[in-house]
Every structure is written in structure tokens, then in C-alpha cells.
Chain A
Amino acid sequence: MKIRKVSILSVILLGVILGSGCQRAAEREDRTLYYFTWSDYVSPELLTEFERQHSVKVVIDTFSSNEELLAKLQSGATGYDVTVPSDFMVSIMITQGLLAELDARAIPNVTLLEDHLQRPAFDPEHLYAVPYLWGTVGIGYDSAVVEPQPDSWAVLWDQRYAGKISMLNDQREVFGAVLRSMGQSMNVTDPATIEAARQKLIAQKPLVKTYASEHYDQLLASGDVILAHGWGGPVARAMRERPSIRYVVPKEGGTIWADCLVVLKSSRKKELAMQFINFLIDTRVAAQTSERLLFAASNREARRLVSRQVRENPAVYPPADLVPRLEWMKDVGRAIRIYDRAWTELKMH
């Protein structure tokens, strides 16, 4: 009898302990923000600062491409609160109903965004997305070797630089470069134009050393390539290793991109999530991030706080007169199949 009492008591005790443990875990869960982001996109000091201010914990998980992010969310991963898709992925995620509507009052810093980011085509009212970091796609080149200084996409077809050219390993961007060299938009859907672009790319292929989206900064800095089609940030990194590197967005124009902060519809901490977004686009925080990652901050005031070297680097902060010539990558609808096929053919050629 006694033994039984003891065992019942201990079961109750165990239950209480476990229960209180769970409760505490649940409370902790309420004060934890899950941030799904690109690797190395946020500095630890800033995170710690936000955590102290709001007495919360921020847990970071990383993805390596927009497609990976979408796949993860579509497959039913819930629990993330804030994430950072690029502009075109924002449109897709809106269509798929993955994003929560934002409350403009909860993100007062939105008014500090650059003028051209105030009403972006993919989300004009900032109903779902707040631009965070932005930049351009252009050409990084070694000014010690490339003569004269290039100002047209046509330089990527120059025989003199055969075997010293790298192109992004990105279907839409590579077609963007060739379409612009033909005086077209990167968002054309006309099959004949795309076919002409494909022919031009096949003609260019013997000159191309590699199609790379990741390590072209290293190729540039080591001199393995002297012309690199790419994003400004990595080119700016290459400049630190080899000062003769320059960056240009040719006169025909280039892509503008923006990684945007969004709150997921499945998030249960939307208030906290919006506070976090507001924190990340705060002038001082954005300036620190911009300085470290070498991408332009969406906050127009932040520019004044970054070092002159970064602010005046066209690879990081595009000059103001360039902005009208920049173009967002848009969904091309059904034509994406034509692009897909042309791209595969180019790769196999």
C-alpha cells in the first residue's frame, strides 16, 4: 500500500516538474524570434542589441538561394517569423499567400526609405515587404588591363578578353545582359528576341571562362578573370584585394535588386517581427550593415553614416543619375519556359 502511495506521489511530482518545464519552455518560445536569412547577413552585435532592448532571443537559420527559401516555405516549414526574399521572390510569395500584411504604424522607419524604393513595382504600398539592402548588376573589371574603360555591355563580346570573362550562373541575369546589349529590356517575352539573345550567348560562350554566381570576386582579385558580370557587393570586396578593380553599370542600363524584409503569414509573433524589421532599417543599424556587407542600405539617411570610401564606391552605392536606367526583374509568365530551354541549350552547347 505504502509503495503504491509513494509511486503515485512521485508520478504527480514528475508531472508537475515536467508541466512547469513545458510552461517555461512555452514562455521562452513566446519571446523567441525566428529569423530566416542569408548566411552572414546580420552582425551578431546588432542582434545582441535588439535582444537586450526587447528582452527576446533571436534564432537565426540560413538559406542560400531564393528558390531554396520558397521550397522550404512551400513544403510546410512553419515557425519562421521574418525572412529576406529578393524583389522578384516577394511577388511570388505574395501570389502564393505566404506573407502577412504589415502595419505601417509599427514600422515608422519606412518613411526613411530611398525615394525610388518608396513605391517598388513588386509591392507599391509596402503592404508585405520592406526593402532592406539593394544594389545593381553590372560589370566588374580590372582597369589596369581593360582599355578603354568599358561603358557598354558589348565589352563582354570583345575577342581581346577571350577566356578572361566570367558571367553569372543565373539564367535571367545572363539573358538580361545580352538583351540589354541588344537594346532590349531584360523582361521581354517575345520568342524571336529571346532566340536572337540565345544565338548571341552561344557566340559569346568560347570567350567565357566560367559561369559563376559565387566566387567571381576571388577570380577578379586573383586576376583569373578581368571582366566579371556580377553584383556590386562582391566586386567591391574584390577591390579591397586588388585596387585596380572598377565597377560599371553600362550605359544601356542594368538590373536593380532589393532584398526585402517580410513577415510570414504563419508567424505568431507579428508585433515583435515588425519591431525587428523596424530595427533593421533604422539609420544607424542599416549603415553598419551596409558598411560590413558592401550593399546599399534602403534607408536614405544611412548613406551619411557609412565611410566615404563605401559611399562613393559605385559598386555599393549606385550614382543617383544611374537610377532611372535601372530595371527590376519581372515575372515573364509563360515565356519562362522559352528562357529555361534556351538556357539549358546554352549550357550544353
Chain B
Amino acid sequence: MFNLVFLYVPILVLLVFSFNASRLAATWQGFSWQWYGQLIQDRALHAATWNSLVVAAMSTMVATALGIPAAMGLERLARRSQHLLGSMFLLPLVIPEVMMGVSFLLFFVMMGMPLGLTTVLLGHVAFNLPIVILIVRAKLRKLDLRLQEAAADLGASPLQVFRLVTLPLLRPAIFGAVLMAFTVSLDDFIVTFFVAGPGATTLPLKVYSMIKSGVSPEINALSALLVFLSMGLVAFSLLLQRR
């Protein structure tokens, strides 16, 4: 109960104060839509939102496309190399994100790559990949191997086995991985902070720099919209998984 209060009360307060007529975060001066109005007109915010969505979508797609074959390959390896390679893939999940950010930055600069949306995208793929691998592998372990063997036995080519048997069985896991990767990418701050360049300010970076010029209810309004968006995404995924 205590936990629930801690989790939801701040969000509720944030939602309520996004409709505050006053600029002050602390005092209520009546209902107003003005912050949502400002939000719609803020051009820098549009650009940041667009950047965030593009990076999240692209990095999720790339990470999923690379992660599924990687997970399947890992499952087929001998136990010892599976263990070794598997932990190597998971390393990005446990090393501090700040270190990841710095090492990416140094790497990109060393390679002479200009910082920008591309470097942000690469960074996001790098931390999304382990997430996809982790989720897909967990599902692969639980699959009944006999189904794939039966398909092969009945004359299906390896590609057909993958397309018609394995993939459909993996679908809920893939969907979960996609959603997870998308969300993580959408609100990543640290790695993005290090590798962002001209024209690559994402939403979290923008929100952070907005605080410098005073916490205005515009941030509340923005956060309220984001809360609704992520709630919508979760509801959508639940709906799809139920089918």
C-alpha cells in the first residue's frame, strides 16, 4: 500500500498541476489548458519528440532483427561457449550506463564519426540488443523442441520451420521485447546525453534542459501526455497478447 502511494501520488500530482493556471508548481490558481497550448506551439519540443520517436522505432527494429537470430544461434551452441557468449551479450545490461556513454563517445570520436542522430541510434541499438536477446532466449528455452523436429520430419525446409513454426511460437516474446526496447530507448538519458550531436536532441535531453529555465507546468503537461502514451502502449500490448 505504501509502495503504491509512493508510485502513484507523484504522477497524480503531476497530472493535476499540468492544468494549473499559475506558473508556480506549488500553488493552485484554477484550471487552464494553456500549458498544453504552449506545448503544441513549441517547435524545439516537436523536433525533440520526433527525434525520440525515430530513434526508438529504428533502434527497436534493428535490435529485434539482430537479436532474434542471435538468440537462436546462442541456444544452439555447446553449453560452455553458450555461457561465455551469452554473458558477453548481457554485459551492457550490468555495466554502469555512464561508462557505456563515455566509451561510446570516445569510440565515435576515435572513428571520426560526427556525432548526431546516427550515433544516438547506434548507441540505442547497443543497449537494446541485450534486452531483445534476453527476452527471446527465455522463451526459446521453454519451447517444445519436438514441434520443430516434427515439422522438419514432415519435410519442411529450415527456413519453413523458422517461418511457420518457431516464429509464431516466439511471437509473444518478440512483441514483449519490441515494447520493452521501445520504452527503454524512448526514455534513455545517459547514453544519449553523451553521444548526441547537432540536430539530435531527444525528448529526455530537452526536458532536462527545460528545467534550467525554471520548472514550468509545460513539463507537467508534456509528462502527462507521455504517461498516457505509455499507458496506451501497455494496454495495447496486453490486448494483443490476450488474442
Count how many chain A residues have C-beta atoms less than 8 Å from C-beta atoms of the other chain.
33
Interface residues of A in 23-51 (CB under 8 A from B): 32, 34, 36, 38-41, 44, 47
Interface contact B27-A44, CB-CB below 8 Å:
no
Q: For residue B209, which residues in chain A have a CB less than 8 angstroms away from its CB?
A: 38-39, 62-64
Per a CB cutoff under 8 Å, which of B22, B41, B200, B213 touches A241? B22
**A92-130 to B contact mask, C-beta < 8 Å, 1/0:** 000000000000000000000000000000000000000
Interface contact A64-B208, CB-CB below 8 Å:
yes
Complex CA–CA separation, A292 to B23 (angstroms): 15
Interface contact B26-A80, CB-CB below 8 Å:
no
Complex CA–CA separation, A265 to B198 (angstroms): 15
Interface contact A222-B26, CB-CB below 8 Å:
yes
Interface contact B215-A218, CB-CB below 8 Å:
yes
Q: A150: CB under 8 A from chain B?
A: no
* CB contact under 8 A between A215 and B115, given known A59-B198, A62-B205: no
Q: B24: CB under 8 A from chain A?
A: yes
Interface contact A36-B109, CB-CB below 8 Å:
no
* Chain B contact residues: helix, strand, loop or mixed: loop
Q: For residue A34, which residues in chain B have a CB less than 8 angstroms away from its CB?
A: 198-199
Complex CA–CA separation, A234 to B194 (angstroms): 29
Interface contact B201-A61, CB-CB below 8 Å:
yes
Interface contact A75-B105, CB-CB below 8 Å:
yes
Q: B214: CB under 8 A from chain A?
A: yes
Q: For residue A222, which residues in chain B have a CB less than 8 angstroms away from its CB?
A: 24, 26-27
Interface contact B198-A241, CB-CB below 8 Å:
no
* CB contact under 8 A between A214 and B198, given known A79-B114, A79-B115, A79-B116: no
Task: Give min CB distance, B99 to chain A, whole Å.
Answer: 15
Q: B79: CB under 8 A from chain A?
A: no
Interface contact A61-B24, CB-CB below 8 Å:
no
Interface contact B199-A47, CB-CB below 8 Å:
no
Task: Give min CB distance, A307 to chain B, whole Å.
Answer: 18
**B15-54 to A contact mask, C-beta < 8 Å, 1/0:** 0000000111111000000000000011110010000000
* Chain A contact residues: helix, strand, loop or mixed: mixed
Interface contact A77-B198, CB-CB below 8 Å:
yes
Q: For residue B105, which residues in chain A have a CB less than 8 angstroms away from its CB?
A: 75-76
Interface contact B47-A77, CB-CB below 8 Å:
no
* CB contact under 8 A between A77 and B212, given known A34-B199, A39-B206, A241-B24: no
Interface residues of A in 196-217 (CB under 8 A from B): 214-215, 217
Q: For residue B88, which residues in chain A have a CB less than 8 angstroms away from its CB?
A: none
Q: B92: CB under 8 A from chain A?
A: no
Q: B176: CB under 8 A from chain A?
A: no
Interface contact A218-B115, CB-CB below 8 Å:
no
Complex CA–CA separation, A215 to B219 (angstroms): 14
Complex CA–CA separation, A40 to B211 (angstroms): 10
Per a CB cutoff under 8 Å, which of B25, B198, B210 touches A218? B25
Complex CA–CA separation, A217 to B22 (angstroms): 13
Nearest to B22 among chain A residues (CB) is: A241
Complex CA–CA separation, A62 to B44 (angstroms): 9
Interface contact B210-A40, CB-CB below 8 Å:
yes
Complex CA–CA separation, A240 to B214 (angstroms): 14
Q: For residue A217, which residues in chain B have a CB less than 8 angstroms away from its CB?
A: 214
Interface residues of A in 221-256 (CB under 8 A from B): 221-222, 224, 234, 237, 240-241
Complex CA–CA separation, A155 to B91 (angstroms): 55
Nearest to B194 among chain A residues (CB) is: A75
Nearest to B29 among chain A residues (CB) is: A241
Interface contact B213-A38, CB-CB below 8 Å:
yes
Q: For residue A159, which residues in chain B have a CB less than 8 angstroms away from its CB?
A: none
Q: For residue B47, which residues in chain A have a CB less than 8 angstroms away from its CB?
A: 59-60
**B227-243 to A contact mask, C-beta < 8 Å, 1/0:** 00000000000000000
Q: For residue A78, which residues in chain B have a CB less than 8 angstroms away from its CB?
A: 114-115, 197
* CB contact under 8 A between A59 and B214, given known A47-B43, A79-B115: no
* CB contact under 8 A between A62 and B201, given known A222-B24, A237-B23: yes
Interface residues of A in 50-68 (CB under 8 A from B): 59-65
Q: For residue A63, which residues in chain B have a CB less than 8 angstroms away from its CB?
A: 209
Task: Give min CB distance, A283 to chain B, whole Å.
Answer: 24
Interface contact A215-B214, CB-CB below 8 Å:
yes
Per a CB cutoff under 8 Å, which of B26, B41, B206, B214 touches A234? B214
Interface residues of A in 167-197 (CB under 8 A from B): none
Please list the 6 inter-chain residue pairs (A to B) with the smallest Cβ-Cβ separation, ordered nearest first. Answer: A79-B198, A76-B109, A39-B209, A62-B209, A34-B198, A64-B212
Interchain Cβ contacts under 8 Å between A and B, 7 examples: A32-B199, A60-B43, A62-B210, A76-B109, A80-B198, A215-B215, A241-B22
